Structure 1
Amino acid sequence: MKKVQSLRNAVMVSLLAGTTLVWGGTAFAQEDLQEFALEDMVVTASRVPTQKVDTPADISVITKEEIADQNYASASDALRAIPGVNVLGSGAKGSSMGQDKILLNGDERVLVLVDGRRMNLGSSGNSSADWLPPVNAIERIEVLKGGGSALYGTDAVGGVINVIMKKGSDIGNHVTVKAAGGSWNAEQYAISASGSNDSGLGLIVSATKERRGEYKFKNANGKSQMMKNSGYDDTGVIVKLDQKVGEDNRIGVNFEHINAEGGSPFGYSKWGTTDSHKRISNNVALRYDWNESSDEKGYVQVYKNY
């Protein structure tokens, strides 16, 4: 079958943290992240393009139209709307690793992919919902609930979260601006701009800023008390450049920066003793896709997650 042949012909190169180089032997990520115009076409369940109606696995798809219509503030909010998906938090957003862990049907062994890049930590195998791209840069999210270890490895026993980002050469000239506010001096700002030209060159720039001060609660005596380290200040920037090569090929460069400052408001040892945290992520990727509109499609990618 052509779909089986396409998987065999596919090649993937991954450079993880500058130390690991992997060739086709780890093809479990090869065709996971392909984009399609048809909303009923999915790739996560079988790693090849399949009509959703013909897919035996339990898979849900969140489109960019649904994200816009529901006005989701983050990818976490969009994921929480899917039955069986739970994003664990401590009751307050912060930057402590594991504080916003993703569970599928109660299992935390969930593989998170963004444009073919594994976002799970090599040390623990976990991933955080806070590490997902901003919603204004997301084309679609595919959620495979249930065992995916046969196709993706042991870190996908609970399922797979497959995030596909937009391409500037596909969406053309477009600018989106968003601002919101809330309790405890909460502020949220987002701007996304894209552009393309007749030669097939596309650019997407997305920037987000989200912060909130420490909040108050009533203690056992009924008095208002400040929750230490419950505030946060997060900044994210994504720059994605892609160029069509011929009629059916594409080369792209992607850079992501996240600067998150916050804390663990409920502490690790006892109530009231918490630490503040700062996390900086700088991820870069270079990718080449060929035969994008055919069954014999594939890509090669080099990336580094810091």
Structure 2
Amino acid sequence: MQHVKSHQIFPQSTKGTKPFGNTKFFQIISNHANLRFRFTFAPTLKKTNKLIMKKTTVVSLALLGTLTLQAQSQQVDLDPVTVTSSLNAIKSSRTGRNLVIIKGEQFAQLPVNSIDELLRYIPGVEVQARGPQGAQSDIVLRGGTFQQVLVVVDGLRLNDPNTGHFSSYIPIAPSEIERIEVLKGASSAIYGSDAVGGVIHIITKTFASRGERRQISGQIGVGEYGLVNGQAGGFYSNGKTSFGAGMISNNSNGQLQRGTRGYFHNNTVSVSAAQHINDNLQVGIRSSFDHRDFAAQNFYTTFASDTASETVSTFWNQASVNYQKNRGKLSANIGYKSVEDEYYFNPVSIPNNNKSKLFQAIAAYEHRIGENSYLTGGGQFQNRKIASNDRGNHTVKQAAGFLVLNQSIGEGFRFNPAIRVDWDERAGTELVPQMALSYRKGMVQLRGAAGKTIRHADFTERYNNYNKALVTRGSIGNPDLKAERSFSYELGADLYASNNLRVAATYFQRNHNDLIDFVTTPYSDMPRKTNIVPTGTYALARNVSEVTTRGFETDLVFQKALAPAQNLLLMAGLVWLDSQTDETRDMFYVRSHAKFMTNFNVRYAYKGFAVAANGIYKNRAPRKAAAINAEVTKEYFVLNLVAEAAVYRQQVRLFVQADNILNTRYSDLLGSVMPGTWVMGGVKVNWSK
């Protein structure tokens, strides 16, 4: 009997856990000046009850509001330039969209250990984590499935052809990140498939460099459960030549789980360079390697026999050319991604081995028609491949052409129509339109957007368990899946109460046709019975006829220099969601998103001292799995804290950090229990010029 990995109701293929070995991935980092030592232990705390969780959430948000009201006005840019919403650089308030932008430097200032943990506390972003410190997380925006968020790195899509579970494996070291732009809502007219709930755009220092700049940073740490953590990075730019490189390594034996230890060895190395050939021409290249080896017990199933482990290796390469002269700007980007995934369900099983490849190219030409008008057009091509002992060997080609207009009328009104013709070798041709409007008068901005979105099925949804000789239970792919289609619209308002404070509120609705989800299906209704049995229990990938998701979100971003040597940063968000479907059979991903969620980051610095906190509260549909004594509780609250003090100027700082300080026992997805309290301490160094 064989099982195959796909989702969390049924088992998939199989892999025994690996013994922990001493990691020597970054021994050379010990010679660098920038080090961070982390000592980790897990003291026992009494579990906080639901009432305290709620009160803590309220108190936290009230405190943040009080800090905001006490601040004095000062010039801080909360309306930064963005390239995500319309491909050309414009102020975020002119896009007609709700965007949240976080600087890369905040990774080192907040209590987070990996990029997916940083995303978890960005307002409005729901990260459904299966394991700590980059093991695996699903990214959700506005109640979509995890496949409906597109992750982009410097203009190129990162989403893997095999499965959306790999979208959080971002092959960039944190030290290389200039900023992260989160665009919420429909974006398929510009980006194509997967940009349904929104877009996460990682923009790096090398590809966005302007002027002279030098920076070196690093950290290393050890702790309980064989913890060995490290980060290092450097960036150099003289205005013409830019070079960046970095690494991050998170390693541990792991805490004891039901059937194994939750070990992880997650390592990323990236290097990039850019050159201004002359005043008009710039070229850039990047290469990176990401390797993650982790315990995956009950990541995808709820069976007691699941003691899984998984290894995912990613090579990422990209190149860009930009030429600008007079009123025109031409850009071309190519990328190649190769991923090998090996998954064992338990020590006696045959592993799934999946090798996926993605080649992509995109070219765009931006022309300034007038002072208030920009027109951008371009084309995109993708070649997606997989070679798998479970899913078989397949290739799909995709191509598209798009046109985007940015037009201003008068002082405050702007509209941004876009249209895309998208062709998929299996799904055919789609016409995808979109429109965004905005009007700003003084401190208030009104905005609205509407558009069609599409998503093509990945190889797991089409072919999961197809290449096995016999499958007695599990998730089954469906080659005949149609493309998802939906229409989304939103209305919102932004208040720029001062130069330091922005508050956004948005109502949105998305009406789906043919949404793809795994649905419990009896043997008699299975379209293919070649390798299944009448007594089996199966979930079939199906097009659900109709799903409507509506919601309301608020974002608050505040940044302020309160007085000499005092600074306050605050980001907070709240999301309410409701999804309705006419499907009566049990589904999984559609109903897994939070119904209510609030998350926040706050950091206060005074001279050489700083304290920061982030937290998240979720209310969602509860689930239970008696076989493994697991549950998704109706609600949970997690709070993380870090305090640091400078010991040499501002370059060397000691810190103490506590993750999950309330020792909340929780799971984002059924069976994947997240760690309890972790207390850490160490030293970090940063130098810049």
Contact 1:94 1:262 in 2 (8 A): no
Distance (whole Å) between structure 1 residues aligned to residue 122 and residue 113 of structure 2: 15
Partner of 2:235: 194
Q: Secondary structure at the match of 1:291?
A: strand
Whichever residue aligns with residue 56 of structure 1, its letter is G
The partner residue of 1:104 within 141, 144, 148 is 141
Which residue does 1:286 correspond to in 2?
319
Q: How does 1:17-32 map to 2 (within 5 A)?
A: none
Q: Summarize deviations over 1:226-250 as a string: whole Å, max 9, x none.
A: 6515101122111101111112421
Q: Aligned pair 1:271/2:311, yes or no?
A: no
Deviations 1:48-85 (A, max 9, x none): 22212222211110113433433643221221122221
**Which protein has the larger Cα radius of gyration, Structure 1 or Structure 2?**
2
Find the counterpart in structure 1 of residue 192 from structure 2: 153
Q: CA deviation at 1:93?
A: 5.3
Counterpart of 2:271 in structure 1: which amino acid?
V
The one-letter code of the counterpart of 2:227 is A
Q: Deviations over 1:31-57 (max 9, x none)?
A: xxxxxx996111212222221222221
Selected match of 1:119 from 140, 148, 158: 158
Q: Structure 1 residue 251 and structure 2 residue 290: aligned?
A: no
Query: Greater share of helix residues, 1 or 2?
Result: 1
Instruction: Find the aligned partners of 1:193 and 1:305 in 2 and give their Cα distance.
Output: 24
Would you say the 8 A contact 2:174–2:246 is kept in 1? no
| Pair 1:300-2:300 in alignment | no
Distance, in Å, in 1 between the alignment partners of 2:131 and 2:332 is 40
One-letter identity of the residue aligned with 2:303: K
Structure 2: distance between partners of 1:92 and 1:73: 8
State the Cα deviation string for residues 131-189 of structure 1 (Å, max 9, x = none): 25222110011101112123222311111011101118646332111123454232320
What is the one-letter code of the residue matched to 2:324? N
The residue type paired with residue 253 of structure 2 is G
Residues of 2 paired with 1:250 and 1:236: CA distance? 26
Unpaired segments of 5 or more residues in structure 1?
1-36, 218-225
Normalised to the residue count of structure 1, the TM-score between the two structures is 0.75
Q: Structure 1, residues 210-267: CA drift from partner, whole Å, max 9, x if none? A: 10112036xxxxxxxx651510112211110111111242111110111111121225
Residues 87 and 129 in structure 1, CA contact (< 8 A), matched pair in contact too: no
CA offsets 1:183-202 (integer angstroms, 9 cap, x no match): 4232320110223457x222
TM-score, normalising length: structure 2: 0.35
Higher strand share: 2
User: How do 1:41-190 and structure 2 match up within 5 A?
Assistant: 41-70=81-110, 72-92=112-132, 95=135, 99-107=136-144, 108=146, 109-124=148-163, 127-167=166-206, 170=210, 172-190=213-231
**CA separation of 1:261/1:192 partners in 2, compared to 1, >3 Å: closer, same or farther?**
same
- Is the contact made by 1:254 and 1:284 (CA closer than 8 Å) also made in structure 2? yes
Give the stretch that moved more between structures: 72-81 or 231-240.
72-81
Question: What per-residue deviation string (whole Å, max 9, x for no partner) do you get for residues 1-31 of structure 1?
Answer: xxxxxxxxxxxxxxxxxxxxxxxxxxxxxxx
For residues 236 and 158 of structure 1, the distance between their equivalents in structure 2, rounded to whole angstroms, comes to 27
Cα distance, 1:262–1:150 mapped onto 2, change above 3 Å = same
Following superposition, the deviation at residue 209 of structure 1 comes to: 1.5
CA contact (8 A) 1:103 1:158 kept: yes
SS in structure 1 opposite 2:279? coil
CA deviation map 1:112-137 (0-9, x unaligned): 10011211122445642132522211
Maintained 8 Å contact 1:266/1:272: no
Q: Separation in 2 of the partners of 1:298 and 1:66?
A: 32
- 1: CA distance between counterparts of 2:278 and 2:233? 27
Aligned-residue Cα RMSD (Å) equals 2.7
CA contact (8 A) 1:92 1:230 kept: no
Match of 2:248 among 208, 218, 237: 208
In structure 2, the residue corresponding to 1:101 is in which secondary structure? strand
Aligned partners of 1:94 and 1:231 also within 8 Å: no
Between 71-80 and 258-267, the greater mean CA deviation after superposition: 71-80
Matches within 5 A, 1:225-264: 228-264=260-296
Contact 1:105–1:158 (CA under 8 A) maintained in structure 2: yes
Residues 201 and 243 in structure 1, CA contact (< 8 A), matched pair in contact too: yes
Instruction: From the superposition, tell whether residues 288 and 184 of structure 1 become closer, same or farther in structure 2 (CA, over 3 Å).
Output: same
Is contact 2:117–2:133 with CA below 8 Å preserved after alignment? Answer: no
Cα pair 2:171 2:290 within 8 Å, conserved: no
Q: Distance in 2 between matches of 1:89 and 1:71?
A: 16
